[in-house]
Structure 1
Amino acid sequence: MKSRRSKTVPPGNNDKDVAAGDSQHALDWAVSQGAVDRVLSRVAGKLQRRRRRRWGVVAGVAGLVVLWGLFAYRSEPNAPIPAGVQAPAPVIARAPGHQVLPDGTAVDLREGAELRVAFEPAVRRVVLERGEAHFQVQKDPQRPFVVVAHGVEVRAVGTAFAVQIGGGAVDVLVTEGIVSVEKPEQDRSGSAAPFRYARVTAGNRTVVNVSAPPVPTAVVPVGAREMDEALTWRIPLLEFDAAPLSEVVESFNRHSTARLVIADADLRSLELSGILRADKTESLLQLLKKDFGVVVERREHEIVLRRGR
């Protein structure tokens, strides 16, 4: 992440190094879209016209969500921006796929996830076809909320939890409330009730091996750090393109408990470019201190930024 006025370049002075640094965003897009050769040819022409060097700090590429059929959702990589389309805003928040279901339940879809909604009068059922999703369930005691994943049902009333499909298993991580992880009644001939793998409370997880006969599964406590790491994918990426520090600070303040405050007016126009995760406030502060000499003053509930003297 650098100011347009900065002349710092990544290590290396050959043309390959400069090309990679000068169009870091374009190359990241190319890798995700399989269009590296096209972008490199455009970069070469661009370098002949403009020798200004820039570089970006890149944390990854997030997914966007598109509507897929009636009440079905899919998370996909970012689509390319057609030539001639107006450039995006200086600050773009690229969040995981987010949808609000007809009952008010909020769903975050990890990139590549697919979800099908099949609500009925007595039950709010959704089917996770693949990938991972986090559900913040709207309370409705009369209509339980059920996530079906590879034949496993995760049943809740009002709670929050994540379900992940992968490696022949279904992983259930509960962040709020309680869920019951079951095998549906119709899959067990002669059984009057569904088989319960586990009852999982907040701060715990269980993993069901869907290829094995149903047996009770272990409920394992998950520490705060492990929980945060498991759900890191839900944190938006903030992309800056020559954005003034005032807008950068405003974007970070939406996702931080400690409020950033710019004390000196001339700092507000400092331009930054790059991509950072919305929870990486410390990375932003280190950059401002090291590269721009910004003084960081920490108070109880805010962080004050001042021009270095």
Structure 2
Amino acid sequence: MSRRPTASRSLMVTLKDTGRSDNGHEVAQPTGWAKPLTPTFLTKPWGRRDGLPGSENAQTLGEIVYQSNSLGLVIKWLQTSEALSVQVHPPGPRRKHEWWHIIEARPGAYIDLGLQETVTPDRIAAAARDGSLSGLLNRIVPLPGDSFYIEAGTIHAFGPELTVLKVQEANDVTYRMFDYGRPRELQVTQAVGEALLTPSVPRAFPDDDAPFAVTPITLRAGEKVVVTPERACLAVISGGGDLADHAFTAGECWLARGPVALQAHTQSTFVLAEPRPRNAQTSDDGANDE
């Protein structure tokens, strides 16, 4: 999972205290803006109390959700204490492509992603109904820093003991194939009809045909950059500092339009998520992202 992401549409210029770039060229003053998106804290039975920050009325905390309607993107932090349901998101106009970045993987953590071998619809439907589905899935033990791009139609599931940053399209059509005996409705027939039933090599990052691009960014303490997205979400994984003259901290997600200045007070890591032009709406101020 070490393949580099494809080039995003943003440029990033490292600044010195003089206001010049590392190669000595002057850099124009940033004229963009940034605003924090409002989080939604979701209680989940498979969540945890000892990981992501959340209020007592959102325990056990499973997800922190940031939604950018104007970009057609949703950014989530997830933490799991047990395996989640095995799912499929249909391709086509209701599709939901996803990108996962592993922040923490405790002992016993895993993800299920795609199939080990080509299967028939009848075989996988029977496995979903008799509880043997996990034996057909490609199980991966991830490490912190690993990334995975999940195309719609891919059978997938989060295992236990994970903390994950997820970037996804805003559609949320989900067919559950298996749910470990939880009393929720399954949609096995629909899932099998939409699922990719041949194995594929997991990809770390979206390709050029994907509906969004992601760019990991790491800054040393004191480092300054100018980031120039047309429109993007900036998820703060760790650290703290200033973004367009606003203080940021870990666990936040910002809507930004470049060029904007980004300075780390401590070593900081981010993910910049940008929609491809055909997927972004045209709102200019992000007012519908409140």
Alignment TM-score, normalising by the size of structure 2: 0.32
Determine which structure has the larger helix proportion and give its number: 1
Larger C-alpha radius of gyration, 1 or 2? 1
